[in-house]
Amino acid sequence: MHSIKSVLREAAETLVLVSDSALLDAEVLLCLALNKPRSHLRAWPDRQLPPEQLGVFTALLEQRQQGRPIAYITGTREFWSRDFEVTPDVLIPRPDTELLIELGLKLIPADCPAKIIDLGTGSGIIAVTLAAERPYAQLSATDFSLAALRVAQLNADKHRINSIKFYQSNWFADVPAMQFDLIISNPPYIAEDDRHLQQGDVRFEPLTALAAAEQGLADIRTIARAARNYLKPCGHLLIEHGYDQQQSVQTLFKDLQYDDIQTYADLSGQPRVTYGQWKSSSL
Ligand code: GLN
């Protein structure tokens, strides 16, 4: 009949066409329909589903069959061990971006009242995580999208962070003159003609958060150039980029006279974040 076990097996079979993690997706959706944790599915595999819950599950499953990402269906995604709200107005948090946090935390000592700005904050994962991990820091965050800023504010509230100053701004365009210890960003960096933009979950994400002109480098260039006016002497710049952009981002940073340029690899070994320090005293 409609036992948890049989429903999951069937659902996973229908999802293999759209997902690399069909069984996991089916489990997550069933948990949402039942309002139970995953342990419940393991503990009660033979429990029969009442028609009402089966109906809810079928509706959720259909959304996934049409390609809608799990995070947009459930409305949440975990990042750095915290749950964040996500909507189609923002990029879905990726594990790759935890590298930015790891490096940022190394640069900012725990008891330091450092000034930090997160550019293109989206769901707010970077600003909120840094604010939570570094309670003495003064965080600012920007996004040109008002809808994204609403999601970021929601996430700040959810994690009881009330110290982030949000700006609706296209990169630095509307950020008042200030000097930061750390400028950090996960900007759009995929080339506009990259065929991955037409495949899988990314089709449902905001294109403006994913793709940039000049083979994906235009926004990184804008940020790195303007950041020089907003960094304290010896301030730090950390930017996430594509696995194949290490060379171009390093060249860009060199041309802009950053020092100590280094690129770091993410958990899957791909060059993912480039660092530069602003030592020059004036432009
Ligand atoms: N790393 C993401 C991807 O490959 C892109 C995120 C971004 O553009 N900032 O889908």
Cβ-based neighbour number of residue 196 at 10 Å: 12
Q: Ligand 1 centroid vs 58 CA: distance in angstroms? A: 30
Taking the CA of residue 216 as reference, the ligand 1 atom at the shortest distance is 8
- pLDDT for position 283: 64
- pLDDT for position 222: 98
Taking the CA of residue 205 as reference, the ligand 1 atom at the shortest distance is 10
Which residues lie closer than 8 Å to 113 by C-beta, 6 or more apart? 136, 137, 138
Q: Ligand 1 centroid vs 47 CA: distance in angstroms? A: 40
3-state secondary structure (DSSP) of residue 176 = coil
pLDDT in tens, the chain (283 residues): 799 999 999 999 999 999 999 999 999 999 999 999 999 999 999 999 999 999 999 999 999 999 999 999 999 999 999 999 999 999 999 999 999 999 999 999 999 899 999 999 999 999 999 999 999 999 999 999 999 999 999 999 999 999 999 999 999 999 999 999 999 999 999 999 999 999 999 999 999 999 999 999 999 999 999 999 999 999 999 999 999 999 999 999 999 999 999 999 999 999 999 999 999 766 6
> Which residues have C-beta atoms less than 6 Å from ligand 1?
94, 96, 186, 188-190, 202, 210, 240
The whole-angstrom separation of Cα 75 and Cα 86 is 5
The pairing of beta strand 138-143 with beta strand 165-168: parallel
- pLDDT for position 154: 98
Q: Which two tokens stand for residue 123?
A: 């769901």
- Output the average pLDDT for the chain: 96
- pLDDT for position 280: 76
Q: Ligand 1 centroid vs 210 CA: distance in angstroms? A: 6
Give all domains of the chain, ordered by start, each with its CATH number. Answer: 4-67 (1.10.8), 85-278 (3.40.50.150)
Q: Are 219 and 189 in contact (CB under 8 A)?
A: yes
- pLDDT for position 160: 98
The whole-angstrom separation of Cα 280 and Cα 282 is 6
